[in-house]
Chains A and B, each alone.
Chain A
Amino acid sequence: MLIAVLAGLIVSILYIPFGKYLRGRLAILVALLPITLFAYFISFIPAIQDGRHVHSHHPWVPSLGINFDFHLDGLSLLFSLLITGVGSLVFLYAAPYLKGHRYLDRFYGYLSLFMAAMLGVVLADNVLLLFIFWELTSISSFFLIGFNNGNGASRKSSLIALGVTGGGGFLLMAGLILMGHLSGSYSIQEMLGSNEFLKSHTLYGLILILVFAGAFTKSAQFPFHFWLPGAMKAPTPVSAYLHSATMVKAGIYLLARLQPVLGGTDYWMYPLVVIGGITMLYSAFHSIFRTDLKSILAYSTIAALGMLVFLIGIGTAESLLAASVFILVHALYKASLFLTAGVIDHETGTRDVTQLSGLRKVLMPLSVAGILAALSSAGLPLTFGFIGKDLIYEATLQTTGFWMIALTTLALLTNGLLLCAGFMAGIKPFTGNLPDSFAQVHLPNGLMWGAPLLLAILGIILGCAPWLVDDALLNPAAYVMHQSAIDSPLKIWHGFNLVLLLSGVTLALGTLLYIVRKPSAASLASIERYNNLAPKHIIGSLARYARKISIRYTRTLHNGYLRVYLLRIIIFAILLLAFRLFTGGPIKLTFDTLSPISIYEVVVVGILIAAIYITVTAPSRLTAVVATSVIGYCICLLFVFYSAPDLAMTQFTIDTLTVVLFVLVLFRLPPFLNFANRGVRIRDGIVASAFGLVIALVAIQVLNQPVDGTVSKFYGDNAYLLAKGKNVVNVILVDFRGLDTMFEIVVLSIAAVGVVSLLKLRLKASEKE
């Protein structure tokens, strides 16, 4: 199973060297990968049907609990088949759709990467592994939305999508780590055992918020739904594959997967039902105002995702079964509608439903696909959508009291609106009179109309014969969510009851709406007036404000003045050291251990301080340099007093050299300029004095500590015995730490090379600027 998941990744890498050979007719070959995988996953159906699960384990980073643990059960299988099945058709469809495109190889690379990542999400048992694949789907989606990278709107949409899903993914990671940490295992199967513990833990609320944030952003739930309509900038095969059938369902998958771990409480149920309900009504309502085919489909996809969240939230056996059926129903008809819209766009050059009509005369097989898919989405009897819709109503009717009425009404309204949207996308373009401008439109490559037709027909076949999939696929999937057997075979016909009545009402409502409402630019404009109140606008302006604040913050902090940086660093160091001194206890002084003061030392220190004063206040550079050299020589004297002859000699030499260099190089410079005003000088003076004081206090504190002399003693004892030298300092430098000294010489040589080359450098006049 590891190979099945990684195959997509490997193939996507292979596109880099071999991709250019695939531009021509060979493009069909790329579909071999998803088709093979589809066949591979089909082969698991009997095992899953018998209630067996497949598990594979490969260690990756065992010390962190991250392993390639894959687990295939009913739910994973349903999603895997969707991913590879729809994937196969999309791979085939995209070959003629993007024929001759410069970046066709790149496109397939992203698509393979996405497929691998998505398979990883639905098969991973380790939550951290799941998270990695989860992020990979966001990233590949980013590239695919921005595939037409010459288009500014495309790039912007892809950034928004990445921002929203990536931000949610970040929170999800926190949630998953929290779950893993609390339950002591990162395996979902093992978490199932500690679900009661997790649910009663005080952090349960936080886990839910984080997991919901991940799922809602990925599955485009209100108020994060806005990235999905923007994602329609991607080529249509991508919209069909990522943004309707598979990737956006990753959030649904996550909720379904965690339902037995975290679900069953009020805290789980109410947010899902409420958010799902708002999402489905809000975007179903929006969908009927759109005039762009893909926009209509995008909003109706959001509504369908809301419906799925809503069903998972209800959490009864019926609703979970309804959810798993609806996942399949929706994938079939929505992918079909998207692919149909893609062909229309490809052949006529427009996606505006107000202009499209009568295309059945020129695109006959495609119109069959579109109309069948629209009927399935409408839930007419004998379509798979009918079964899905029935189950949704059964699920809402299972609840009691106020909830039953509220949820059923909500579902009814949404379904009615969605039906209208489905008709607009699937039927409207094909009915009516054919305008002259479309008379030359002709059928494209068979793969392009074949793919949506196959999906649409599959929707009808499953509608007539649901027993093909119920035991094999849907019941096992619902079983995973509910953790107990659901024994209700899907039925084509339920008899005359309330559910059928509701279906009828939906149909009547939606059809009425479709006949009465004519999509037009005016109605689109009427709803776009409220864009300022839309979540997209609000979140967008939040993002802009954050950007402004960060720019201002950076400008203040990083203003380009060296001394301001220094000032901040020094003030921070003062505060840090002062805090440590303050908390470190009182500063003590033991006078008896100090050495006595003699007059010549005091004189030298006096000269030193006078020289420092002159250096700081000197009006001319030469005075300052000379005073600096006086400081150096006085320190040299101090070294002589305190038994450091080597230091004294070095200091003397170096100081002389520095002064000579200074005078030689800088004699032509202008006199010192006093740039700073009095206030600034006083401020700097205070900061500098404070720093000096803190350092002095630190020095006093350290003086109180006993000196550990073992290392010094080692050198003293062994200088002659081991190294045959009598000057211990010299022996340390050239013998014990000889390598250090060698590198020091290297550093000096580099500095010398720098000095010489800077002095010798003659810039041309043009380079002086």
Chain B
Amino acid sequence: MELVLVILIGVLYASGIFMLLRRSMVKLLIGLILLGNGANLLIFLLGGITKGKPPVIDNAAKLFTDIYADPIPQALILTAIVISFGIQSFAIVLLKRVYVLVNSDDLDDLNTPEEEDI
């Protein structure tokens, strides 16, 4: 199964990068989301995958009695998801604002004019 996930991560990264390289700002944003998902999965995979053993201690016990999934990647990813939401929401609103002002979705329209004589 790890191999399938590896392929998935590769596809997520590739599509994310492809979208990042577009001129449209919305596509850029979607690229960012895809890339973030890819990165999360990568971290998750590298921690090792375990089926059906969440890192939660049984009600009756004080310690784990069985094997359990690695909690550290999960904690990291949780943080990453939340932070990336912060970025995404800010970027979405910013994008809207830019669209209202410039009336364009094209990144090239945002370039400041080149200074001719430096």
Residues of A within 8 A of B (CB): 551, 554, 560-563, 566-567, 570, 589, 594-598, 601-602, 605, 608-609, 612, 615-616, 621, 624-625, 628, 631-632, 635, 638-639, 641-647, 650-651, 654, 657-658, 661-662, 665-666, 669-670, 672-673, 675-676, 684-685, 687-689, 691-693, 695-696, 699-700, 702-703, 707, 709, 711-712, 715-717, 719-721, 726-729, 732-733, 737, 740-741, 744, 747-748, 750-752, 754-755, 758-759, 761, 763, 768
Contact of B15 among A562, A688, A751, A755 (CB under 8 A): A688
| A635–B15 CB distance below 8 A | no
Closest B residue to A641 using CB positions = B51
Which chain B residues lie closer than 8 Å to A665 at the CB level?
92-93, 95-96
List, sorted by A's number, 7 A–B pairs whose CB atoms are closer than 8 Å.
A561-B108, A566-B21, A595-B1, A597-B1, A688-B18, A712-B72, A744-B82
Contact of A647 among B20, B59, B81, B108 (CB under 8 A): B81
| B90–A703 CB distance below 8 A | no
| A732–B114 CB distance below 8 A | no
Which chain A residues lie closer than 8 Å to B106 at the CB level?
673, 675
| B96–A712 CB distance below 8 A | no
| B18–A685 CB distance below 8 A | yes
| A719–B26 CB distance below 8 A | no
A763 to B95, CA, bound (A): 16
| A595–B4 CB distance below 8 A | no
Contact of B71 among A695, A699, A732 (CB under 8 A): A732
| B13–A692 CB distance below 8 A | yes
| B90–A754 CB distance below 8 A | yes
Q: With A691-B13, A747-B83 in contact, is A616–B19 under 8 Å at CB?
A: yes
Which chain A residues lie closer than 8 Å to B77 at the CB level?
644, 647
| B55–A729 CB distance below 8 A | yes
| B93–A755 CB distance below 8 A | yes
| B33–A658 CB distance below 8 A | yes
Contact of B4 among A561, A601, A737, A750 (CB under 8 A): A601
| B81–A650 CB distance below 8 A | yes
| B74–A646 CB distance below 8 A | yes
Q: How far is the CB of A600 from chain B (nearest CB, A)?
A: 11
| B23–A676 CB distance below 8 A | yes
Q: With A612-B11, A642-B44 in contact, is A654–B81 under 8 Å at CB?
A: yes
Which chain B residues lie closer than 8 Å to A748 at the CB level?
82-83, 85-86
Q: How far is the CB of B9 from chain A (nearest CB, A)?
A: 6
Q: How far is the CB of A383 from chain B (nearest CB, A)?
A: 55
Residues of B within 8 A of A (CB): 1-24, 26-28, 30, 33-34, 37-38, 40-42, 44-59, 62-64, 68-72, 74-75, 77-79, 81-90, 92-97, 99, 101, 105-108, 111-112, 114, 118
Q: With A612-B12, A703-B46 in contact, is A751–B75 under 8 Å at CB?
A: no
Q: How far is the CB of B113 from chain A (nearest CB, A)?
A: 10
Q: How far is the CB of A598 from chain B (nearest CB, A)?
A: 8
Contact of B10 among A696, A733, A741 (CB under 8 A): A696
Q: With A612-B15, A643-B51, A695-B42 in contact, is A661–B92 under 8 Å at CB?
A: yes
Closest B residue to A595 using CB positions = B1
A715 to B57, CA, bound (A): 12
Contact of B56 among A597, A670, A712, A726 (CB under 8 A): A726
Q: With A609-B11, A615-B34 in contact, is A669–B74 under 8 Å at CB?
A: no
A699 to B46, CA, bound (A): 7
A3 to B77, CA, bound (A): 61
A562 to B110, CA, bound (A): 10
A596 to B50, CA, bound (A): 11
A654 to B32, CA, bound (A): 15
Q: How far is the CB of B1 from chain A (nearest CB, A)?
A: 5
A716 to B56, CA, bound (A): 9
Which chain A residues lie closer than 8 Å to B94 at the CB level?
758
A414 to B66, CA, bound (A): 98
| A691–B17 CB distance below 8 A | yes
Which chain A residues lie closer than 8 Å to B96 at the CB level?
665-666, 669, 758
A609 to B15, CA, bound (A): 10
By Cβ-Cβ distance, the 4 closest A-B pairs, closest first, are: A692-B14, A696-B10, A751-B86, A643-B69
| A672–B20 CB distance below 8 A | no
Which chain A residues lie closer than 8 Å to B30 at the CB level?
615, 624-625, 628
Q: How far is the CB of B29 from chain A (nearest CB, A)?
A: 8
Which chain A residues lie closer than 8 Å to B57 at the CB level?
719-720, 726-728
Which chain A residues lie closer than 8 Å to B11 at the CB level?
609, 612, 692
Q: How far is the CB of A701 from chain B (nearest CB, A)?
A: 10
Given A594-B3, A609-B8, A641-B51, 14 additional A-B pairs, CB 8 A: A560-B114, A597-B1, A631-B34, A654-B82, A654-B84, A657-B85, A688-B16, A691-B17, A716-B64, A726-B57, A727-B55, A748-B83, A751-B87, A758-B94
Q: How far is the CB of B56 from chain A (nearest CB, A)?
A: 5
Closest A residue to B40 using CB positions = A635
Which chain A residues lie closer than 8 Å to B70 at the CB level?
707, 709, 712
Which chain B residues lie closer than 8 Å to A699 at the CB level?
6, 9-10, 42, 45-46
| B9–A596 CB distance below 8 A | no
| B97–A761 CB distance below 8 A | yes
Which chain B residues lie closer than 8 Å to A740 at the CB level?
79
A684 to B88, CA, bound (A): 23
A589 to B7, CA, bound (A): 14
Q: How far is the CB of A330 from chain B (nearest CB, A)?
A: 44
| B82–A650 CB distance below 8 A | yes
| B1–A684 CB distance below 8 A | no
Q: How far is the CB of A121 from chain B (nearest CB, A)?
A: 36
Q: How far is the CB of B67 from chain A (nearest CB, A)?
A: 10
Which chain B residues lie closer than 8 Å to A631 at the CB level?
12, 34, 37
| B17–A643 CB distance below 8 A | no
Which chain A residues lie closer than 8 Å to B81 at the CB level?
647, 650-651, 654
| B34–A755 CB distance below 8 A | no
| B26–A669 CB distance below 8 A | yes
